[in-house]
Structure 1
């Protein structure tokens, strides 16, 4: 997990802002191709990725592997929550505190990664550790351990 793809106390006003900020980190390090950010935004508008996990809300925006050079996860922990539509009920708007922007290269591994992330999200204690962590390395360690 590349700690340079983790933003602690990210200050943006919207889900779109988070996707752009984290997407620029990925683009700058060439994990993703030009057009990735726009493709994620387009997909998010049609297939939202917000999840309410026992009172804590997260989002896992992503797009097609054709925009990905190398698999990566960018994480944004927000100063104040931003709005994402709920994956389960798209009419519901959630206040998301942590965003996991995914760049998945292999479509088969996407399903496996999403399963592992869901297991991480269901562990409220680990999610709270990510919310409170003061160091990028702490967040990276929690995620690495969860997705191995």
Structure 2
């Protein structure tokens, strides 16, 4: 987990702002291609990624591997919640505080990664540690442990 892809105290007003900010971090380090952010935004419009995890709402935006150079996860902790549509009930908007922007290179690994993230989300204590963290390195360590 690259700590440079973690943004604490992210100021954003829309889910597009969040995706662009986190996608830019990935682009700068060449994890993703120039087409990545637009591809994520287009996918999010039709296949939303918001999840209500019992008290905390998260989002896991991602797109097709063709836009990815190397696998990565960018994490954004938002100062104020941003609306994402629910993955389960797309008409419903969720107030998301934590965003995990995924760049998956191998489609086979996507299922495994999503499974590990779901396990992380179900561990309320771990998710709260991420949400309350003040240091990028602290989040990176938690994420590494959860997805390794």
Query: What are the equivalent positions in structure 2 for 1:38-117 lying under 5 Å apart?
Result: 38-117=38-117
- Give the CA deviation at 1:55: 1.2
TM-score (norm 2): 0.99
Unaligned stretches of 5+ residues in structure 1: none
Unaligned stretches of 5+ residues in structure 2: none
Structure-1 separation of matches of 2:24 and 2:3? 15
- Give the CA deviation at 1:147: 0.5
Structure-2 separation of matches of 1:106 and 1:17? 26
In structure 2, the residue matched to 1:13 is 13
In structure 2, the residue matched to 1:25 is 25
- Give the CA deviation at 1:89: 0.2
Structure-2 separation of matches of 1:126 and 1:11? 23
**CA RMSD, 1 decimal:** 0.4
Deviations 1:22-53 (A, max 9, x none): 00010111000011000000000000000000
Classify the secondary structure of the residue corresponding to 2:96: strand
In structure 1, the residue matched to 2:118 is 118
TM-score (norm 1): 0.99
Would you identify which runs of 4 or more consecutive aligned residues in structure 1 move more than 6 Å? none
Does 2:128 match 1:128?
yes
Aligned length: 148
Structure-2 separation of matches of 1:24 and 1:14? 16
- Give the CA deviation at 1:131: 0.7
Classify the secondary structure of the residue corresponding to 2:88: coil
In structure 2, the residue matched to 1:138 is 138
Classify the secondary structure of the residue corresponding to 1:134: coil
